[in-house]
């Protein structure tokens, strides 16, 4: 593959981006991983720029499992050699088959949520909530705030920060899984 940008432009509907994530966005996400996290999941690993930052900053005891559905991008991710890294060539929806309920400490979503149909967004967020431990951390970035209210249904104490040094500039949602049952259905 020539590069992520050419891939992204050809596959805009699946990547949701025209350029790879910046190191600033990647670092913003990675530095939010809790210091006591043991199980970290990344959805939509892309070309691995965020994956590499997660591996660099994650706690010593943590293990990262990244999901990528694209065969072309998977080839780039397979170059990552790290003892605490697993790669899954499957849909993000498969997290409920791969992880037990309340077993994930931190989940980082790099999926183009804004491009998903509403029903799929609800299904994905329900799956994410089910695998996250109570007080587990959910991170999602977007280029605009279109899904903020929807995400807030699942993560009521949602915080947002802005990363201007990304193309396009991005918003990062940070949510903590409540101790109670799902708010949305």
CATH of the domain at 56: 3.40.50.150
Give the Cα separation of 17 and 89 in Å (integer): 20
What total number of domains does the chain contain? 1
Model pLDDT, residue 20: 80
Whether 183 is in a domain gets the answer no
Report the candidate in 21, 30, 43, 62 with the shortest Cα–Cα distance to residue 168: 21
Residue 181 is predicted with a pLDDT of 58
Contacts of 6 (CB under 8 A, 6+ apart): none
With respect to residue 181, please indicate whether it lies within any of the assigned structural domains.
no
Position 185 in a domain? no
In a domain, 182, yes or no: no
Residues of the chain with pLDDT under 50: 1, 8-9, 11-16, 183-185
Please tell me the predicted confidence (pLDDT) of residue 125. 99
Q: Which pLDDT belongs to residue 2? A: 54
Q: Is residue 150 part of a domain?
A: yes
Does residue 96 lie within any of the structural domains? yes
Asked if residue 158 is part of any domain, the answer here is yes
72 lies in some domain? yes
Q: Residue 179: its pLDDT value, please?
A: 83
- Domain span at residue 79 reads 4-176
């Amino acid at each position: 593959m020539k590069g992520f940008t050419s891939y992204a432009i050809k596959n805009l509907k699946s990547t949701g981006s025209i350029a790879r994530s910046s190191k600033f966005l990647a670092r913003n996400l990675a530095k939010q991983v809790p210091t006591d996290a043991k199980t970290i999941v990344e959805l939509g690993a892309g070309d691995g720029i965020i994956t590499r930052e997660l591996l660099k900053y994650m706690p010593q005891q943590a293990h990262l499992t990244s999901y990528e559905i694209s065969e072309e991008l998977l080839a780039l991710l397979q170059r990552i050699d790290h003892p605490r890294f697993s790669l899954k060539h499957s849909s993000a929806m498969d997290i409920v088959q791969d992880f037990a309920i309340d077993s994930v400490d931190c989940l980082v979503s790099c999926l183009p949520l804004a491009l998903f149909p509403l029903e799929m967004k609800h299904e994905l967020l329900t799956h994410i909530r089910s695998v996250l431990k109570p007080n587990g951390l959910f991170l999602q970035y977007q280029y605009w705030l279109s899904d903020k209210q929807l995400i807030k249904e699942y993560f009521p104490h949602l915080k947002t920060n802005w990363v201007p040094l990304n193309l396009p500039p991005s918003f990062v949602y940070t949510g903590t899984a409540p101790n109670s049952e799902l708010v949305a259905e």
